[in-house]
Amino acid sequence: MPSTLTPDQDSAAISLIRGFAMDAPLYAKSGHQGTAMALAPLAHVLYSRIMSHDPTNPAWPDRDRFILSNGHASILQYSMLFLNGYGLELDDIKQFRQWQSATPGHPEVGHTAGVEVTTGPLGQGFANAVGMAIAERSLADRFGSDVQDHHTFVVAGDGCFMEGLSHEAASMAGHLKLGSLICVHDDNRITIDGNTNLAYSDDVAMRFSSYGWHVENVGEIADDCDALEAALRRAMAVTDQPSLIILRSHIGFPSPDLTDTHEAHGNPFTLELTNRTKDAMGIPQEPFWAPTELVDAYRAAAAQRGQAASAQWQQRFDASALNRAEWDACWAATGLAGWTESLPTFAQGESIATRVAIQKVFDATLAQLPGLVAGSADLTANTGTKLVGQVAQSAATPGGRQVYYGIREHAMAAVMIGMSLHGGVLPVGGTFLVFADYLRPSVRLAALSKAKVVFVLTHDSVGVGEDGPTHQPVEQLASLRIIPDLQVLRPADANETAQAWRIAVEHDGPTVLVLSRQNLPVCTDGSAAVTGAATLSAAANPQVVLVATGSEVHLCVAAAEQLASQGIGANVVSMPSWDRFERQSAHYRSSVFPQGVPVLSVEAGTTFGWARYAHDSIGIDRFGASAPGALVLDKLGINIDNIVARATALAAKA
């Protein structure tokens, strides 16, 4: 859609953005102005000439997505949200980086209207954009291009491209031929330490060309709105490759003092330097200069364009023959009505690994969960994330619900966040628990973003066996539990696994399912997954409580039987989820752990954290060993005899 702004309004808007970019960090005494100043024309062109977006309806499904991967330049995005009328007002800009403001230090999805993803850790937003492009293409294939046909625009800097995550994500995007993905590389050649030549000499054009991207080096056009628009439209015309536009920008421009210097990156300009730059731009020295007539004209133009675009989409949607129930379920990332009735149950005593059980659960519920898209980092069969009968996501089969992420754990997690935050997709990704550190930064951001994604992390203990300590997680479960707003479940058996999947689908944020490699006997009805912990068996006069998670629960059941034969009453508690248990009432929690009854925890991992619930803990506070899994578990004390002995001693002290 053509812009209705005049050339003079274009120029004034760019100056306003640059003024905000200096004033907000100056008055906050914190922030990054240089990149925002340099990219003001680009942001203006994207929002006023290129992107299909509606400030009066920020969440309409077919809008173009904008991601600022170099999120430290957040004032650039806030300036655009202010100018376009997304709800930010001048006082919000003045409260940049302040307590409970709508303009935090880095963009946060769900906090500020118009922000699509949470960015800041470099490279994350770029990888999120890949996920958004996958989601758009998948939905277009399923429901038709009349209701899903938009672009994902991402701005990324040198720092984003130095991070290894960008290599993983860019490689995947090129392989999948994501034609709706357009990245503008802010080639300003400056980092905090100084010029990029201190540490970086990549040929970015050759690198992305080798990934299969369409690449255009547009050179010195960072201040030329018409040339920027033309370059973006050329990229939009490429449909069979993601596009990279390499834009040579000058950080801090048009500062007469700090253009092209690393001081312009993250040190707020002084008032004197700010005023000198404003003089160079020909605008008043007043702070937060925002002429009412300019802002009103900008917002009116944005509303006119946006409302027309979203209304036209609504007409197409209303005329579409798509399945509304499936559409609604996809966008809610949940199941069709009654979907939980398809959850399988497993017979008591049946022996099945929870990683195998999850695949059976996926297969049983797949038809009722139209948004479900699953895959793994080259461990699809190993982690139970193989969807039976589904084709691979690819350029040839864009609606494929099986995603092969390759050996790219970090990108997998970040891409899943992008898919989720785009909407219309419920992404599941699997790898081994021991590799959680490869994807941890993205798991943390999933929690911070409240992105509805499910991480299936299998081979969850030293029971992995012969692969040895490099592949035997002992500390990973504890490290995941400490991440705020991350739901973590380690089910005891197949029934708890089925209920854990139901809980993950019903949850409004990210979930980690921690699953076993080895077979486990079915010993629960699954209800403990709902409450986080539940008593499986209760003694008439309990002298000790045995609490365990995952593969250790059935050992506690057997140990309780031996203790009973010795006249020691033991309650057995399955506790798949600490965080869910903590959300229960105090009355319920005290019923699981009765006051005055000592508690022994049993888990094949570090005992860190168990002091919250237990008076003594059996665990593994060392790395594992290379040997058959059952032998390693036994040698490290995860066995019935040790549980009985420690429980007996604990009960005797009570």
Task: Give the 3-state secondary structure of residue 290.
Answer: coil
Measured torsion, CA atoms of residues 241, 244, 245, 246, in degrees rounded to the nearest 10:
-150
Nearest alpha-carbon partner for 370 in 144, 180, 143, 151: 143
d(CA 486, CA 375): 20
Q: What is the largest CA-CA distance in the chain?
A: 90
Neighbours of 166 (CB within 10 A): 27
Nearest alpha-carbon partner for 179 in 135, 244, 245, 241: 241
Contacts of 356 (CB under 8 A, 6+ apart): 384, 494, 519
| Amino acid present at 462 | V
Q: How far is CA 462 from the centre of its chain?
A: 28
d(CA 13, CA 302): 13
CB 171 within 8 A of CB 456: no
The residues assigned a catalytic role are 409
Contacts of 39 (CB under 8 A, 6+ apart): 73, 76, 155, 186, 222, 249
Measured torsion, CA atoms of residues 650, 589, 340, 402, in degrees rounded to the nearest 10:
-60
d(CA 487, CA 464): 24
d(CA 389, CA 606): 39
Q: How far is CA 475 from the centre of its chain?
A: 22
Give phi and psi for 461, each to the nearest 5.
Answer: -155, -175
CB 155 within 8 A of CB 184: yes
Helices 494-506 & 354-365, crossing angle to 10 degrees?
Answer: 50
DSSP 567: T
| Amino acid present at 226 | D
Give phi and psi for 213, each to the nearest 5.
Answer: -90, 150
CB 43 within 8 A of CB 79: yes
d(CA 233, CA 246): 14
Q: Using alpha carbons, list the distances in angstroms from residue 417 to 38, 135, 148, 173, 394.
A: 29, 11, 19, 15, 19
Bridge partners (DSSP) of residue 67 are 154
d(CA 200, CA 577): 44
For the record, the structure tokens of 242 come out as: 């993601």
CB 478 within 8 A of CB 609: yes
